């Protein structure tokens, strides 16, 4: 039996696997929540296909995207990363990643986990948009504006409402798979 997808899948091995196995799937692991946040932030101005292609190298190079390790990066490490071929070499994004790791750890301290914090915005409920056509999927929402504003208040950078919406899709807060998609 042939399976349906959402139509946006680039059908390269990275995008197809991401769509089928991870997109809009619920994530509660703090380590993975930070990793997804970094990848979403790194995607600003770039294609998601490129980010997925670089994901393995980013995880390997950036201490498996551990917020505890990245929060310890200093200016020397930032400079080293700018010449690393396995990551997105953007000074602002690298600096934001380090800054956001520190802010992420503060949220963990306050809420006992980032998971508890981020899912509190929906009372631990998935918002299923029951999408019939990908044109119905927004790129921003009132909720993503609210979360972005709160993240900024807590010291995060490079996480505007559009990136936050995409992050919320990636961790399953939003289920924006087509209702006909076999991977819902």
Report helix, strand or coil for 177.
coil
Catalytic residue among 48, 119, 158, 174: 48
Q: For the packed helices 30-42 and 161-170, what is the interaxial angle rounded to 10 degrees?
A: 140
Examine the residue annotation and report whether 48 is marked as an active-site residue of this protein.
yes
- List, in sequence order, every beta strand (DSSP E) within 32-172: 127-128
Examine the residue annotation and report whether 23 is marked as an active-site residue of this protein.
no
Catalytic residue among 2, 14, 18, 174: 18
Examine the residue annotation and report whether 40 is marked as an active-site residue of this protein.
yes
What proportions of the chain, in percent to the nearest 5, are helix, strand and coil? Answer: 55, 5, 40
Catalytic residue among 14, 21, 40, 174: 40
Enzyme catalytic residues: 18, 40, 48
């Amino acid at each position: 039996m042939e399976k349906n997808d959402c139509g946006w899948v680039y059908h390269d091995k990275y995008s197809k696997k991401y769509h089928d196995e991870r997109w809009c799937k619920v994530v509660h692991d703090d380590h993975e929540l930070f990793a997804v946040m970094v990848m979403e932030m790194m995607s600003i101005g770039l294609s998601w296909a490129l980010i997925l292609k670089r994901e393995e190298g980013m995880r390997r190079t950036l201490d498996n995207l551990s917020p505890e390790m990245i929060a310890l990066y200093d200016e020397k490490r930032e400079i080293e990363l700018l010449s690393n071929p396995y990551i997105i070499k953007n000074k602002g994004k690298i600096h934001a990643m380090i800054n956001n790791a520190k802010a992420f750890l503060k949220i963990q301290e306050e809420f006992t986990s980032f998971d508890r914090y981020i899912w509190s915005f929906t009372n631990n409920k998935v918002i299923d948009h029951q999408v019939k056509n990908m044109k119905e999927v927004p790129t921003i929402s009132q909720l993503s504006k609210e979360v972005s504003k709160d993240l900024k208040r807590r010291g995060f950078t490079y996480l505007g409402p559009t990136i936050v919406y995409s992050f919320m899709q990636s961790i399953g807060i939003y289920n924006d798979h087509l209702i006909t998609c076999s991977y819902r």
